[in-house]
């Protein structure tokens, strides 16, 4: 009996140690139709991808989620492109907590596409004034996060400024016979920084506001990405993005859409997501309130159902093996666990 008790205690202690191992966490923060995705590594390093709008409540909501996650600073801010709903909250956030490093495409003076007050363009002056170490990102660059043999962690830029990383592997993609290009997108959306996060067996794709033709280049004629587990829906779910060739080639199990109650989540995009056989769950930050009720996901997968919401966020926690990950909406108590898939490439 003593031997059995000793074995039981050893197994229990091992299980407890395993359970206590910190997770890799990803948060999709409600910035009302802008974009803000926070990654917190098991070592408590942080990467914020985009920062929402320049007015309240973007900075305050990001700060609330970050501090709730135990952060005292943002180690890396990556601004995918220079539209005001992606860079605007950074200056306000920097007054609430330090932002140590900023990576972007090289800051423009103004948002080149979005009309601002009085017909002017939104200035990036406040963003450019943030006291941080800055780097112009290049395709192929990786964020220098702490990693180890047991925590094989990587966050890599695979595309930026309409160019792919030169060393990307690729395999022939039979789906490309049906490729249908669209007119060239002249906006800064097409310049979006595209990132792939891997953690042991888990893989996450964040393409910012990439649009149709660049999405196609990622997977046609060669598939340069391979399968992923989680897909952040490009461009808030806009119709000019989310090329079905990309969706079907990535083959995600879960999609997450950072839409607003009156922005993104187009009917065609929701239909494309529904038509992607691999997708088992479609999460949305907001319920679309423009009347297209059939083109929302199920209510249980929506963080904010009402117009005057309480800024509920969506969270994904990846276990130390990378073999399983749990999505939750803490405010509603909903959670669901998924298995990572075997990857090619």
Report how far Cα 55 is from the mean position of its chain's Cα atoms.
21
| Position 8 in a domain | no
Q: Is residue 216 part of a domain?
A: yes
Query: What pLDDT sits at residue 4?
Result: 42
**pLDDT range class, residue 345, cuts 50, 70, 90:** low
For range 130-153, the mean pLDDT: 94
pLDDT of residue 340: 98
CATH of the domain at 42: 3.60.15.10
Maximum C-alpha span of the chain: 81
The confidence score (pLDDT) of residue 20 equals: 62
Residue 6 pLDDT exceeds 90: no
pLDDT of res. 5: 44
- Residue 149's pLDDT band, with cuts at 50, 70 and 90, is confident
Please compute, for residue 229, the number of CA atoms within 13 A of its CA located in the half-sphere on the CB side. Answer: 25
| Band of pLDDT at residue 132, cut at 50, 70 and 90 | very high
DSSP 342: P
44 is a domain residue = yes
| DSSP 3-state percent helix, strand, coil across the chain (nearest 5) | 25, 30, 45
What digits encode the pLDDT tens for the residues 212-270? Answer: 999 999 999 999 999 999 999 999 999 999 999 999 999 999 999 999 999 999 999 99
Question: For residue 292, what pLDDT band results from cuts at 50, 70 and 90?
Answer: low
| Domain extent at residue 265 | 22-111+128-339
pLDDT at 2 over 50: no
Question: Do the domain assignments include residue 236?
Answer: yes
Domain-located, residue 10: no
DSSP H helical segments within 129-259, as ranges?
A: 212-219, 244-250
Can you tell me whether residue 81 is helix, strand or coil?
coil
3-state secondary structure of 126: helix
Burial of 341 (0-12, 13-18, 19+ CB in 10 A): middle
| Domain-located, residue 345 | no
Residue 143 counted as domain residue: yes
Dihedral sign computed on CA atoms, order 176, 180, 184, 187: negative
Whether 241 contacts 268, CB under 8 Å: no
- Domains identified in the chain, total number: 1
Nearest to 246 by CA among 207, 280, 285, 282: 207
Q: What is the pLDDT of residue 13?
A: 40
Percent of the chain with pLDDT over 90: 84
* Banded model confidence at residue 293, pLDDT cuts 50, 70, 90: low
Residue 116, in any domain of the structure: no
Give the global pTM. 0.93
């Amino acid at each position: 009996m003593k031997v059995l008790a000793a074995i039981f205690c050893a197994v229990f202690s091992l299980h407890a140690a395993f359970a206590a191992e910190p997770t890799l966490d990803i948060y999709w923060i409600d910035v009302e139709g802008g974009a803000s995705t926070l990654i917190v590594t098991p070592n408590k390093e942080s990467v914020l991808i985009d920062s929402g709008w320049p007015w309240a409540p973007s900075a305050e909501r990001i700060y609330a989620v970050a501090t709730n996650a135990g952060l005292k600073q943002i180690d890396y801010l990556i601004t995918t492109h220079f539209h005001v709903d992606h860079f605007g909250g950074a200056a306000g956030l920097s007054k609430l907590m330090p932002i140590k490093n900023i990576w972007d495409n090289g800051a423009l003076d103004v948002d080149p596409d979005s009309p601002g007050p009085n017909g002017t363009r939104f200035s990036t002056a406040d963003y450019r004034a943030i006291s941080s170490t800055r780097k112009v990102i290049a395709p192929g660059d990786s964020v220098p996060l702490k990693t180890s043999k047991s925590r094989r962690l990587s966050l890599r830029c695979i595309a930026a400024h309409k160019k792919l990383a030169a060393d990307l592997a690729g395999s022939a993609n039979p789906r490309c016979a049906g490729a249908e290009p669209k007119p060239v997108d002249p906006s800064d959306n097409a310049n979006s920084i595209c990132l792939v996060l891997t953690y042991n067996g888990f893989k996450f794709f964040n393409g910012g506001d990439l649009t149709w033709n660049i999405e196609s280049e990622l997977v046609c004629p060669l598939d340069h990405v391979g399968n992923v587990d989680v897909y952040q829906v490009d461009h808030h779910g806009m119709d000019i993005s989310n090329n079905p060739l990309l969706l079907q080639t990535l083959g995600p199990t879960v999609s997450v859409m950072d839409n607003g109650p009156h922005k993104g989540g187009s009917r065609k995009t929701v239909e494309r997501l529904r038509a992607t056989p691999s997708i088992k769950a479609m999460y949305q930050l907001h319920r679309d309130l423009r009347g297209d009720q059939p083109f929302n996901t199920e209510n249980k997968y929506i963080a904010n159902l009402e117009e005057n919401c309480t800024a509920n966020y969506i969270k994904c926690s990846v276990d130390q093996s990378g073999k399983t990950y749990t999505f939750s909406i803490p405010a509603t108590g909903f959670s669901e666990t998924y298995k990572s898939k075997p990857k090619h490439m």
